[in-house]
């Protein structure tokens, strides 16, 4: 069951101290962050003013620049802390605690797709498949090109015997998918469960074709 569903790690780069006071945050691609006030920002660099002075930061090294009030950034930090707790609980198989942590994260950042996805996965891992579908649907609705979110939702549909919904979703994902092999395999399973064995065999053959390409 655990291997059917995949987690998102989008918020794990937020790891700054919750006691800090600052106006803006620059988050680097390697996960490091700096706090201060952004005084200049262009395609080449971001200039961050700290108590010790101004620093030129190459734009190519930066993942995000978060601007806003201390209250907004504090909310993002609280979200990150709850999100990381949720993932830690899931890794330990403590799904009820993970669900509580993700709900706490959603209170800080309502509608955040990565949190919704992981909440749905936690429900599914605790075999609460009906409860898993709403957050997974919300996550996929917000990011319809996210194959991970789509596959998680399709798996939840299968677990709830909504096989036609799963087939429709998997066909939709195939249009822009990079990993078509996995989608054809999933479709083969769904069509087999639907009793459409000839179509299921053809889908497995397509999956084998992509494996050999």
Exposure pattern of 142-176 as b/e (b: 16+ CB <10 Å)?
ebeebbbbbbbbbbbbbbeebbebbbebbeebeee
Q: Within 13 Å of residue 31, how many CA atoms lie on the same side as its CB?
A: 7
Non-local CB neighbours of 120 within 8 Å, separated by 6+ positions: 5, 132, 133, 134, 135, 136, 139, 152, 153, 156
Asked whether the beta carbons of 169 and 150 are under 8 A apart, the reply is yes
For the segment 107-115, the average pLDDT, to the nearest whole number, is 90
* Residue extent(s) of CATH 2.30.30.100 domains in the chain: 24-67
Query: Which one has a higher pLDDT value, 26 or 162?
Result: 162
Find how far residue 182's CA is from the centre of its chain.
Answer: 19
Query: 15-24, 74-83, 105-114: which has the minimum mean pLDDT?
Result: 15-24
Q: What is the CATH number of domain 24-67?
A: 2.30.30.100
CB atoms within 10 A of CB 211: 11
For the segment 148-159, the average pLDDT, to the nearest whole number, is 95
Which helix (H) or strand (E) segment is 129 a member of? helix 129-142
**In the chain, helix, strand, coil percent, each to 5?**
60, 15, 25
At the topology level of CATH, where does 72-212 sit?
1.25.40
For the segment 44-63, the average pLDDT, to the nearest whole number, is 90
**pLDDT at position 13, please?**
44
pLDDT digits (tens, 9 = 90+) for 190-199: 999 999 999 9
pLDDT digits (tens, 9 = 90+) for 61-105: 988 787 765 666 677 777 888 898 999 999 999 999 999 999 999
Kindly calculate the radius of gyration of the chain based on its CA atoms and give it in whole angstroms: 21
CA-nearest of 83, 92, 95, 173 to 131 is 95
Query: Which one has a higher pLDDT value, 191 or 33?
Result: 191
* Residue extent(s) of CATH 1.25.40.10 domains in the chain: 72-212
Q: Say yes or no to pLDDT of 27 above 90.
A: no
């Amino acid at each position: 069951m655990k291997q059917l569903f995949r987690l998102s790690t989008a918020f794990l780069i937020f790891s700054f101290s919750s006691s800090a006071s600052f106006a803006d945050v620059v988050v680097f691609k390697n996960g490091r962050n700096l706090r201060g006030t952004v005084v200049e920002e262009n395609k080449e660099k971001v200039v961050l003013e700290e108590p010790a002075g101004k620093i030129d930061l190459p734009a190519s090294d930066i993942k995000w620049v978060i601007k806003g009030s201390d209250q907004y950034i504090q909310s993002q930090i609280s979200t990150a802390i709850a999100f990381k707790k949720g993932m830690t609980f899931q890794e330990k198989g403590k799904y009820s605690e993970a669900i509580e942590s993700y709900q706490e994260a959603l209170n800080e950042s309502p509608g955040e797709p990565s949190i919704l996805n992981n909440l749905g996965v936690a429900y599914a891992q605790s075999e609460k498949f009906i409860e898993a579908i709403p957050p997974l649907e919300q996550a996929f609705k917000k990011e319809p090109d996210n194959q991970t979110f789509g596959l998680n939702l399709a798996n939840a549909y299968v677990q709830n015997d909504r096989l036609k919904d799963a087939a429709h979703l998997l066909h939709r994902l195939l249009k822009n998918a990079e990993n078509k092999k996995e989608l054809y395999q999933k479709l083969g399973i769904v069509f087999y469960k639907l009793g459409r064995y000839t179509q299921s065999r053809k889908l497995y053959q397509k999956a084998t074709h992509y494996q050999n390409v």
